Amino acid sequence: MTEPLWEQERRYQTAAGPVRVRVPAKINLHLGVGPLRDDGYHEVTTVYHAVSLYDEITARPAETLVLTMDGEGADQLALDETNLVIRAVQVLAEATGRPPHARLHLRKRIPLAAGLAGGSADAAATLVACDALWGTGLGREELASIAARLGSDVPFLVLGGTALGRGRGEQVSPVLAPGRAWHWVLALADGGLSTPDVYRELDRLRAAGEAPSPAGSSDGILAALRQRDAAVLAASLVNDLQPAAVSLRPSLRDTLDAGVAAGSLAGIVSGSGPTCAFLCRDAANADAVARALEASGTCRAVRTAVGPVPGARLG
């Protein structure tokens, strides 16, 4: 049987020295939040979409575990077990019977606590990097199941592309849609929002009858993806967490309004926020929206990105 390409890449990189893994951010095209479960998570139906804003992990052999970081928010990340990179090394080491040894460097471009799953992306990248470094040879499926222990979004960041997420988000299956690149503008905010806080705020708004009824199925967004029409996709974007994120951070309303006034097709809070994602017609439209958003003073920084892109990959 022919060895898959990514296996060949993995062997080559391990033999050649440092292992480099690039991992994207995610947005949610659809995020339907159901009731709070007994385990403290909410049942969700989501459509994940990986976009071209990347963190990068470099892994080298070592006699101990060393982590260094640079880039977006790196100075605010702890270097202990609360860091998902460290947790990922430990969980993979336990699962494979290896000592948790590696010299890791994390280059961050995805902001922290931004609703872009930056921490989950780093965990996914660490799993793929250490698996290659140690030569443990886990398949994508095995990696995904270890990933689920690290966080709800981590399995998706191993997979990438556009995928349906169920359960607490950890049960992912690829969405088969005809190929086309979607153009996004991401408005990054000052400071983050805590995911548990945003879920709790949604529960509070619902109990008070102040949140819209939960989103229905994800069929609308899946049909829109098949149509390959950006205006149709724009009209189908849904995020049940948006009212909660806006309630905790009312200035997000201004950001959303500014992105639409700038000529995007639609704006939505990404995941639990506070990043806002704007769908654009094409690359030129995205550049124009990005410039106008930068000038609007309603966000800290702006990035353009395309999706879907692959998940954590060597290279």
Cis peptide before 274 (omega within 30 of 0): yes
Restricting to residues 178-197, which ones interact with ligand C5P according to CB under 6 A? 195-196
Judge whether 108 counts as a catalytic residue.
Answer: no
* Residue 166 falls in which region: left (phi positive, over 0), alpha (psi -120 to 50) or beta: beta
Cis peptide before 308 (omega within 30 of 0): yes
Range 159-195 burial, b when 16+ CB lie within 10 A, else e? bbbbbbbeebbbbbeebebeeeebbbbbbbbeebbeb
Restricting to residues 195-224, which ones interact with ligand C5P according to CB under 6 A? 195-196, 199
Segment lying near ligand C5P (by CB under 6 A), choices 151-159, 180-188, 282-290, 301-309: 151-159
Q: Which of 55, 122, 131, 153 is catalytic?
A: 153
Q: Which is nearer to ligand C5P, 49 or 168 (CB)?
A: 168
Judge whether 55 counts as a catalytic residue.
Answer: no
- Give whole-number Cα distances, 157 to 37, 153, 201, 220, in Å: 24, 7, 26, 23
Written as six digits, the tokens of 116 are: 């872009």
Segment lying near ligand C5P (by CB under 6 A), choices 5-13, 130-138, 147-155, 237-245: 147-155
Work out how close the CB of 297 gets to ligand C5P at its nearest, in angstroms, rounded to a whole number: 31
Contact by Cβ (8 Å): 80, 66: no
Residue among 25, 27, 31, 44 that touches ligand C5P (CB under 6 A): 44
Q: Which is nearer to ligand C5P, 196 or 315 (CB)?
A: 196
Should residue 30 be labelled a site residue for ligand C5P when binding is judged by CB under 6 A? no
Segment lying near ligand C5P (by CB under 6 A), choices 34-42, 60-68, 85-93, 253-261: 34-42
Restricting to residues 218-277, which ones interact with ligand C5P according to CB under 6 A? none
Should residue 169 be labelled a site residue for ligand C5P when binding is judged by CB under 6 A? yes
**Hey, what amino acid is at 200?**
R
Nearest 5°: phi and psi at 32?
A: -100, 120
Residues that bind ligand C5P (CB under 6 A): 40-42, 44, 151-153, 168-169, 195-196, 199
Q: What residues are labeled active site?
A: 26, 153
